[in-house]
């Protein structure tokens, strides 16, 4: 009986020491990583709101009464007249309806590699040129759909 107790104590001490060593190695690793700027590549490469991006994706995949999805409608239209009577009010309802409290300015519109033309202003989101979180989706070779959101705080 006495021999079993010594074995249990020895094994328990071994596991306690091993656990302490593992914890010290983890703390040391975290300490090194936190001060080494080169290894901090995981830190906010692009600030994006995942829910907004999911909403944008769902918006683009919404089917209109005519049977075309919104992405195809936007792709077929000129950058100056991107929105129609279906996809314009839908976009406004989605982005203003869900995100108006979180963002001071919301803009969705067309962008071309040459820059903003008349597309800078549209009937549903006003003028572009706001800074903040954004996502750009290529509609065709020379036309992008740009969603830009400016935080209110």
Whether the pLDDT of residue 71 is over 80: the answer is yes
Angle of helix 50-60 versus helix 87-99 axis, rounded to 10: 160
What total of structural domains would you count in the chain?
2
Residues 85 and 113 in one domain: yes
Residues 35 and 70 in one domain: no
Give the C-alpha distances (Å, rounded to integers) separating 31 from 25, 27, 36, 149: 10, 6, 9, 35
The domain in which residue 124 lies consists of 50-151
Residues 108 and 57 in one domain: yes
Which of 6-10, 86-90, 101-105, 119-123 is predicted most confidently? 86-90
**Range 56-75 average pLDDT:** 88
pTM here? 0.62
**Range 15-40 average pLDDT:** 83
Residues 15 and 34 in one domain: yes
Residues 99 and 143 in one domain: yes
């Amino acid at each position: 009986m006495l021999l079993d107790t010594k074995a249990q104590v020895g094994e328990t001490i071994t596991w306690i020491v091993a656990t302490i060593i593992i914890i010290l190695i983890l703390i040391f690793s975290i300490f090194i990583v936190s001060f080494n700027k080169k290894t901090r590549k995981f830190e906010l490469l692009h600030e994006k709101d995942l829910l907004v991006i999911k909403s944008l994706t769902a918006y683009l995949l919404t089917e209109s009464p005519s049977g075309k999805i919104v992405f195809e409608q936007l792709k077929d239209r000129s950058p100056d007249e991107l929105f129609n009577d279906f996809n314009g009010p839908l976009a406004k309802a989605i982005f203003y309806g869900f995100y108006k409290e979180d963002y001071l300015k919301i803009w969705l519109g067309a962008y071309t590699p040459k820059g903003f033309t008349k597309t800078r202003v549209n009937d549903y989101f006003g003028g572009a040129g706001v800074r903040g979180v954004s996502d750009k989706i290529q509609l065709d070779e020379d036309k992008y759909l740009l969603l830009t959101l400016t935080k209110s705080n």
